[in-house]
Amino acid sequence: MHKFPWWQALWLSFFSRTLYQSVARQWQGIGSLYLLIVSALVVMPVTMQIREGYLAFTEDELPLYLDELPELTIQNGLASTPEERPYIINESGTTEPFIVVDTTGQYTDLDQTSAAILITADQISIRKDDVSSQSYSFTDLGDMTIDRSSIETFLTTTGKFVLPLVYVILIAVAWFWRFSQAMVYALLAGWLARRQGVTLRYNSFVRLCAVALTPAMIMDMLIGVLGLTLPFAGLLFIALEVMYVRFAIQSVCQLPPDQRNDEGSIIA
């Protein structure tokens, strides 16, 4: 029987019975590493979209706000601005306030404005939604001066670390979800196999289901890249995944009885 490397499963999983037979007989482990690699591939477009959005904000939108943002000097937990007056920065292209900077005491609470951010003499308040907000006291900060240059430097520096971190988090979330699915679908695969007189180890069923999830993972990625809206996407993907789990088990069941075992060799 031909041994398939993991990368061929990216397209052969859509139609090849021989691949699933090889996965059952010649691959090792439970498919965790395979799912990790595929997860890293399919979340790449999402990561790039986040990166483009981040760059668009920092390069196009943020400068519009920074042009109006006053220099903020924090000393001994209290902030001051060059002029003793409220600074109201509107959302781009509107007359709706987005940031209010007021160290005079005229604005002390977000309830007094529809702005998303309020900076007072002793704290910064950020609106979470229509009913809740979070405040951070300046007493927790050391003495500093916040201006356009320092904000741009901060965003440039953090951007180098935040985006790779986002990619790692997306991989971890995608892997955990898909691996959990594979373990659950393995129970269904075992039941389908027993009905046809095939008995494999649970690890082998998990491995088969990991590969059987590949078409759904790739199609989900392509739909996201193309920006398509798929009604009842969750149910349709579950149906697709179950169909491929059944296809995988049927493929193994077509092997001669003396070949329905696990030899093991390729990837965990």
pLDDT tens figures, 193-247: 999 888 889 999 999 999 999 999 999 999 999 988 889 999 999 999 999 999 9
pLDDT in the model for residue 132: 84
For the segment 26-47, what is each residue's pLDDT rounded down to a tens digit? 898 899 999 999 999 999 999 9
* CA–CA dist 189, 38 (Å, integer): 21
Is the sign of the CA dihedral 211, 213, 215, 221 positive or negative?
negative
pLDDT in the model for residue 44: 96
In this prediction, what percent of the chain has a pLDDT beyond 90? 60
Beta-carbon count within 10 A of 139 CB:
11
Q: Mention every residue, 6+ apart, whose C-beta is less than 8 A from residue 50.
A: 163, 166
The pTM is what? 0.79
pLDDT in the model for residue 162: 87
The pLDDT-based confidence of 266 (bands split at 50, 70, 90) is very low
Q: Domain boundaries in the chain?
A: 11-48+160-259, 70-146
Q: Residue 78: is its pLDDT beyond 80?
A: yes
